[in-house]
Structure 1
Amino acid sequence: MGVLDGAALAVDAETVRAAIDREVVLVAVADDRVLGACVLDGREITTIAVRRARRDQGIGTALVEAAGEHHTGNDDPLVARFDAPVRPFYEALGFTIEPADEPGRFRGRRD
């Protein structure tokens, strides 16, 4: 939760606990320290965060790649909804981007 809170994401602890119970939280760890986390709902990335000091080191990319492989055998695309500042991150990972219904938000899809 510290990584998600540090990223100022609007996700509550109960949502994360439920995702952990469903085994749909991916965590990047080094030296017993959580560096990043990705919460999934099926093939949708609902939350992803990396410690500020560890950004731009491939951790977020590795989490998205792991999310894409999480449900092997499922041909559905990987999707995400996100704010404008992280659009370049998703574009660099090959997501097709389009505006979402909410102002300033986008949705991405990667087949």
Structure 2
Amino acid sequence: MSDDPPADADPTVRRGREGDLLAVLRIVEGAMLEMGANQVRRRTESDEVLVAAHEGRIVGALVRDGDHVEAIAVHPDRRGRGIGSLLVERALAETGRLTAEFREEVRPFYESLGFDIRERAGETRLWGERER
């Protein structure tokens, strides 16, 4: 029997805590994003990490610096179920505006979250912005 949450279960979005550090790092690394433990720890201490949890298991995370999203990731088994949207909506409720810089291959993800996306001259990464 699998210990994965049911497909129809909604996770709870809450602030990340110090005890979530390893789980957040696993989620972020699983999405092949570069973010170190010290960076996540600092953001957690400044209340800038949100996690989506289901039955005590972290299934998604959003790490930001002010209104800039440094990382957003969802466990591969839980992608496509609106967890990214829940995290973004909660962050928007707190900040009113979000920005993000990301690779072309994740553009559809940010578009699905309602970000306005643009290319910047001389840059290989895209820039996205969303307001509440």
Kindly indicate whether residue 26 of structure 2 is the aligned counterpart of residue 2 of structure 1: yes
* Superposition deviation, residue 6 in structure 1: 1.3
Tell me which residue corresponds to 1:24. 48
* Superposition deviation, residue 92 in structure 1: 2.1
Q: Secondary structure at the match of 1:5?
A: helix
Task: State the identity %.
Answer: 42
Tell me which residue corresponds to 2:123. 102
Tell me which residue corresponds to 1:39. 63
Structure 1 unaligned residues grouped into runs of 5+: none
Q: Which amino acid aligns with 1:108?
A: G
Structure 2 unaligned residues grouped into runs of 5+: 1-24
Q: Secondary structure at the match of 1:8?
A: coil
State how far apart, in whole Å, the 1-side matches of 2:40 and 2:63 are. 7
Kindly indicate whether residue 65 of structure 2 is the aligned counterpart of residue 55 of structure 1: no
**TM-score, scaled relative to structure 2:** 0.75
State how far apart, in whole Å, the 1-side matches of 2:27 and 2:115 are. 24
State how far apart, in whole Å, the 2-side matches of 1:20 and 1:6 are. 19
CA deviation vs aligned residue, 1:57-97 (integer Å, no higher than 9, x gap): 100111111111123xx5xx311111111111211222111
When structure 1 is superposed on structure 2, of 26-35 and 80-89 the one drifting more is: 80-89
* Superposition deviation, residue 53 in structure 1: 0.7
Stretches (4+) displaced over 2 A: none
Q: Give the CA RMSD over aligned residues.
A: 1.3
Q: Secondary structure at the match of 1:26?
A: strand
Q: Which amino acid aligns with 2:58?
A: V
* Superposition deviation, residue 110 in structure 1: 1.1
* Superposition deviation, residue 102 in structure 1: 2.8
CA deviation vs aligned residue, 1:28-69 (integer Å, no higher than 9, x gap): 000110000000111111111100111001001111111111
